[in-house]
Amino acid sequence: MSLVEGLLGPEEPEVGCDDCFAELDRYVELELAGEDADAHLPGLRAHLAGCLACREEHESLRALLADDIG
Amino acid sequence: MDQESAAWVAALAGQGGDRDAALARLHALLLRGARFELGRRRGQLASLSAAERQDLATQAADDAMMGVLTRLGDFRGLSRFTTWAYKFALLEAATKARRMAWRDRELPRPPEDWLAVADPDGRPEAAAEHAELLAALRAAVAEVLTPQQREVLLTVVAGRVPLDVLAERRGTTRGALYKTIHDARRKLRAHLAEAGLLTGEEVRGR
C-alpha cells in the first residue's frame, strides 16, 4: 500500500475492527467455499484494505484453514 | 449449526467430565492456532528464545480461551466452531507478537517531512506523478485534521506503528484508534474532492 493509499484509505464504506472480527470466520469460510463473501458481508473487504492488523489476521485464518486441510 | 459445532457448544456449556475434556481439546486447538501465527512471525520475534516463544503461544492460547468462553453465546453457527475459535487465537497471538516486537522501542514521532518517507514498495512517493495530489494531501493533513487525528494517522501510516502497539501505549483499543483513522481519512477525501482532486465516486462512502 502506498503512502497516499494509506492516508486516504478505501473509498468504499467499511465496517470497523470489531465488526470485522465478529464476521471474519464466516467471511473466510465463504471465500474458501468459492461464494461471494463480499455480497454476504458488505464492508468487510474495504476494511481489510484499510486496516493492516485485520488484514494480517484474515490472511492468517485463511492460511491456517488451508494448513488444516493439508 | 453443523453437528460437530453443536457438539462443541454443548460440551463447553455443559458440566463435568465432558466439559473438562472439551476445554482441554479447545486449549489444544487454540495453542495450534497461536503457534501457527507466531510461526508466521518468526522474523519479527527473532530475539526470543524457543522457550519464550512457547510461553508467548501459551499465553495467547490462554487469553483466547477466555475470549472464546466469554463470547460462546455469540457463536451462531454461521461458520464451523473451530474456525470461529481459531480467530481468537490468531488475534491474541498476533497482538502479543506485535507488542513484543515493539516492547523496548520508542514510538516514532510523526516525521516532520513525512511526505518524503519512502513508499513501502521502495518508490520515492514525492517523485511520483501525483505531485499535485501529494501537495494537496500534505496541506490537508496540516489544515483539516485535528491534532489527535493527525498524530494517529501519521504514526500508523507514515511511522508504520502497528495499531495494537499504539493502542496499548495510549490505553485504548484497536477499534477506537481505527475509528480515528477512518474519520481522518474521510475528512481528507472530502477535502480533496472539494478541491477537484478526487471524483465524487471516490468519496461516496463519506
Domain boundaries, chain B: 3-101, 114-203
Cβ distance A16 to B117 less than 8 Å, yes or no, reads no
pLDDT of residue B113: 62
Is the CB of residue A24 less than 8 Å away from at least one CB of chain B?
Answer: yes
Condensed to tens digits (0 to 9), the pLDDT of residues B26-37 reads 999 999 999 999
Condensed to tens digits (0 to 9), the pLDDT of residues B94-129 reads 999 999 999 988 888 776 666 665 454 555 554 555
Does residue A2 fall inside a structural domain? Answer: no
Contact B186, B142 (CB under 8 A): no
Rounded to the nearest angstrom, the minimum Cα separation between A39 and chain B is 15
Does residue A19 fall inside a structural domain? Answer: yes
Q: In chain B, pLDDT over 90 holds for what percent of residues?
A: 71
Instruction: Record the pTM.
Output: 0.90
> Which pLDDT band, with edges at 50, 70 and 90, does B195 fall under?
confident
Give the count of domains, chain A: 1
The CATH label, of 3.40.640.10, 1.10.10.10, 1.10.760.10, 3.30.470.10, for the domain at B114-203 is: 1.10.10.10
What is the CB neighbour count within 10 angstroms for residue B22? 18
Does residue A3 fall inside a structural domain? Answer: no
Does residue A40 fall inside a structural domain? Answer: yes
- Residue B203 pLDDT > 50: no
Residues of chain A found within 8 Å of residue B124, distances taken between Cβ atoms: none
Residues of chain A found within 8 Å of residue B87, distances taken between Cβ atoms: 21, 24-25, 57, 61
Cα A43 from Cα B173, distance rounded (Å): 20
The number of CA neighbours under 13 Å toward the Cβ of B46 is 2
> Which range marks the domain in which residue A36 is found?
11-69
> Which pLDDT band, with edges at 50, 70 and 90, does B51 fall under?
very high
Measured CA angle at B170 (ends B167, B173), to 5 deg: 35
Which of A41, A64, A65 to probe by mutation at the B interface, max B CB count within 10 Å? A64
